[in-house]
Every structure is written in structure tokens, then in C-alpha cells.
Amino acid sequence: MGDELLYLNGRVMPLAKGRVPVEDRGFQLGDGVYEVVKVMNGRGVWLEDHLDRLHASLGAIGMPQALQGHHLEEVLPSLVEEGKVVSGFLYVQVTRGVHPRDFALPERVEPTVLAYARSMPVDAPDLIEAGAVLHPVEDVRWGRCDIKSIGLLAAVMAKDEAMRAGADEALFVGSDGLVREGGSANVFAVLGGVLRTHPADRHILNGITRQHLIELAVGAGIEVREKAFTLTELLSEDGAEMFLASTLRDVLPVVRVGNRTVSYGQAGAVTLELAQRFRRLQAVAAGLQPPGA
């Protein structure tokens, strides 16, 4: 592992030396977006997909040209290589820039663009297959969860509540009773042999892992419906399965929601099959020999 490096507005420096002005709108107003990219085998996995989503988030907040001249498709691999990050993640953040504090959108302000790579250990397979416990919370977030906003206070509070309840992750449930997503993960369930997940609308972030999993499932002959489900549906069906999907945790089985057991308290067969297929696909994307190949 090398020294952690920061890309900040066109310059590369040690991460510890990075400085952003007090009146950066990201700091004062949460006016910005971000991306997290998994690093495996010293490579950003599905980097192009993440950059496409970053551009989509920037377009949604009126900053379609924010990355012009930054060439992140070259900068990010360089941060990984120079920082000697073999396993870990890339973090990218773009804010509207520095301007005297005002809610009105400023004109002709240079955006703040930063990125860094960090090493992180890989979860052991037995830890993953042991499964996660979810803590349901009311979804009180803003109505544009499809934008990967840096304004994450609602998720921070929900995750803290989950931790205090002895759970691994928060589970956002809408006022209509429909399961939306986790604190930082998409949610899938297997109900009646059908793989279900909330549609990619404004209530959830359309995860990169989510997208690849849906493609995998369809290719494996598993019926997929992008249709939300309720906790009542999930908990009333014997043998129903549930799992989380995210960039850094991949496919994580769920064995309990609140005080109710899911999938007999263990990872389900469909979940394990998809997890295995996903690991193979991800390995190929990272330039590795797929497990079991």
C-alpha cells in the first residue's frame, strides 16, 4: 500500500494536504454529488458505468459540464496505480464550487472536483454468507434519491439507529409500506420464485451492482420483476429470500429484518447462486481469473 493521493481541481497531492475553502457549497449546502468505485486487482471495477452515473447526477443538478477538462477516466486509474491500491475503493466528489453563501445557484463558478483511492480489506466469504440483519426505518429522505447527492444526513441517522438496534444496515420503508432500499445498498427479494426489487425511479439509487445483477439473473433464466414489495409480503412467505446489493459489499444475504427471521435464518439458494455468478462476472471485469474457472 502506498501513500494516499488526492486529485483536487487538477492537482495531485498527498490526501492529508488537501484543503477546500470554507465557502465551498458542498461543505455549507451539500450542493454536490459523488461516486464510489470498487477497486479489485488494482483496477476500478465498472469504472465507465460509475462515471456515466456521475455525469447523470451532475446533469440532474444543472452541472452537465462540471467534469470538462478533468479526464477522470485517466486520473482515477492513475490514483489507484500510484497509490498502490490493490483492493479498496475510489471516491469521487464534485460540488458546485466556492461562492459566498446563498441558496440561489451562482453563475460562472468553477466546480470543486476531488478524488482519492483507498485500500480496504476484502470481507471473508464466511462473514458474507453468515448474512446481515436489517433495521426498518421510515424513509424520510428527499424525493430525488436517484441523484447520488452528498447530502447523506438521513442515511447517517438511519444507519446509526440501525447500529444501536444491533443491526448491520438500515432498511428504508416508504409511507406506503413498500421496501425501497438500504442505507447504502439496493434490496432484492425472492418471492414465489421471482426476483423482485424496487423499480429504478426517484425513490432509489439505481446501483451499478443492481444493474449487473438484474442482467445476470435474466441471463440465468430467473424471472425478474422491478416491482416493490412490502415487509408483510416478505415475512409471510416461507422460504422467501432477501439480499443487499452494493458496490463495496457485492451480494450480501439478509437473515433477519427487525426481530423476524428471513430465509430460515440463512442465505437462500437463489441468493447464493447469484452471488457466485456475480463474483465471477466481477472478477472478469477486474482482469482476474473467475472463481471456480
Q: Which residue has the cell 444475504?
A: 253
Q: Which residues touch 20 (CB under 8 Å, ≥6 apart)?
A: 8, 26, 27, 112, 114
CA distance 276 to 289: 14
Task: Tell me whether residue 38 is one of the annotated catalytic residues.
Answer: no
Nearest to 188 by CA among 254, 278, 286: 254
pLDDT, tens only, 24-51: 999 999 999 999 999 999 999 999 999 9
pTM: 0.95
Instruction: Identify the pLDDT of residue 293.
Output: 56
Q: What does the pLDDT read at residue 158? A: 98
Q: Which of 84, 148, 159, 227 is catalytic?
A: 148
Q: Mean pLDDT over residues 95-106, rounded? A: 97
Contact 226, 198 (CB under 8 A): yes
pLDDT at 292: 61
Cβ density class 78-116: b for 16+ within 10 Å, e for less? bbbeebebeebbbbbbbbbbbbeeeeeeeeeeebbbbbb
Q: Tell me: pLDDT of 129 over 80.
A: no
- Contact (CB, 8 A) for 260 and 198: no
pLDDT in tens, 43-95: 999 999 999 999 999 999 999 999 999 999 999 999 999 999 999 999 999 99
- Phi-psi domain of 175 (left: phi exceeds 0; alpha: psi -120 through 50; beta: other): alpha
Domains along the chain with CATH numbers: 5-119 (3.30.470.10), 125-285 (3.20.10.10)
Beta carbons of 187 and 210 less than 8 angstroms apart = no
